[in-house]
Chains A and B, each alone.
Chain A
């Protein structure tokens, strides 16, 4: 058990450079006027 640091979420984002990119995810909207998904708010559909 670590004394100073507690890990809550273990991600592996950088490894998805090789495994990702299938493009099946919903189209995202970065603007303020559409809620139909923003990149960071999506879940992967894979």
Chain B
């Protein structure tokens, strides 16, 4: 018999309709199922009855499913019980454990702000058009070297470290980038480790010389582009106001030709072309398709993080249009699949049977204790989004005590179960409590979530699971 005593169905089983199918996502196992209409309706009704305060399983089974004959109800309950026995649906709640960390933080990834300057003046730039609220400044080789040494010395026994060259625009300090890559490879080798380098660029300076260098050195690259020319140019102009599309698109297309097999999961030497959508282009699926139609295979377009008073900030009334865009995009991903225009939309990647373990999902991104950002002056922050915010400054490469323990602990403690809203959310193991910076920006606290971010995350997951299901069908048919 299906056991639902002391089992909150709404929290542990998410049933929804996407396309023409009913999908059940079992939160604790990460399993996916297709339900017929009668079963979906039955589970929705069980949830409704439970929410009304009825807890006795027999009474829930009686009250819910009035659309079913007694034989049908018996069949469905039997199937659900079998899946529950196999821990695939209505599976037991995952053991509630706190992430365990070593006393001294093990830093395995670093965002190096090699340039707090930029050659674009993007309207939504959280870095204050590159300077992060400070002076326009470039990182020296000496500071960069200290940062890499700090990473290698504080990465414990982890064999792999990651370094992302970020800005501002890192190619405005390309010579130092090259020197740091050479130094980092040598120093990592001597320490018996490897550093995986990534560079995030707006592609303005991505000429053949730079491209060839990045290719030869095996550097992964994240390229910024918002999509259609008019959309990109509205938010991503040069200092003089001229749009950047005509300059960057040829650079991007030439660069990605070198990497036709870039991993969809950002593994190895990959590229992603990423953009930001705002309330000016809630039809951003058209921007994604604009890129896909031009041969870009790895695409990520993501919602702007902005103070609510900004005109371009996403508002609650934009949600329906945005969700519709995700729905259309999901169908387009499937339509393009197995054609020469097949592409990956990053937020529709969903690791289920091959995804990260629960401890990783509980702890989230690791900002502030596994991942840090370094400003051009050598100041250490929990992540790139916090750079320049004194309240969150962890320390400095030039101080003996480099990491403020209280701030480290506040990030370690901001895990999924520390956030009240997450504890009963079906998406808790897929979103890991959201972005610390977005949460802090919205509520002023690390342990309070950003509700619109949650809403969008859940929508993306629903479409991602749908694609996962349809993808299996389509791959089988080919």
| Interface of A toward B, CB cutoff 8 Å | 2-14, 16-17, 19-44, 46
Contacts and interface: CB of A to CB of B under 8 A. Distances in A.
Contact of B356 (A8, A10, A31, A42): A42
Contacts of A22: 357
B210 interface: no
Contacts of B383: 29, 31
A37 B203 CA distance: 20
Given A12-B29, A14-B87, A36-B266, A24 B158 contact: yes
23 contacts: A5-B36, A9-B472, A11-B29, A12-B29, A13-B361, A14-B29, A17-B95, A21-B359, A26-B267, A27-B108, A28-B432, A30-B365, A30-B433, A32-B302, A33-B126, A35-B300, A36-B198, A39-B356, A39-B361, A40-B461, A41-B347, A42-B355, A43-B356
B35 interface: yes
Contacts of B351: 40-44
B335 to A, nearest CB: 20
Interface stretch (B73-81, B236-244, B388-396): B73-81
B320 to A, nearest CB: 20
Nearest to B30: A11
Contacts of A14: 28-29, 87, 91-95, 358
Interface of B: 24, 26, 28-36, 38-39, 75-76, 79-80, 82-83, 87-89, 91-95, 97, 100, 106, 108-109, 111, 126, 158-160, 162, 164, 196, 198, 200, 220, 222, 265-267, 272, 274, 276, 300, 302-305, 346-347, 349-361, 364-367, 370-371, 383-385, 429-438, 461, 468-469, 472
B162 A27 contact: yes
Which 9 pairs show the lowest CB-CB distances between chains A and B? A20-B357, A11-B30, A27-B109, A21-B359, A16-B357, A14-B94, A13-B30, A30-B435, A32-B302
B346 A41 contact: yes
Contacts of A31: 305, 365, 383-385, 435, 437-438
A5 B92 contact: no
Given A14-B94, A14-B95, A3 B75 contact: yes
Given A25-B360, A32-B438, A7 B88 contact: yes
Given A16-B358, A28-B365, A40-B430, A4 B35 contact: yes
Nearest to A3: B75
A36 to B, nearest CB: 6
Contact of A28 (B29, B106, B366): B366
A15 to B, nearest CB: 8
Nearest to A23: B158
A12 B87 contact: yes
B163 to A, nearest CB: 10
Contact of A17 (B26, B94, B437): B94
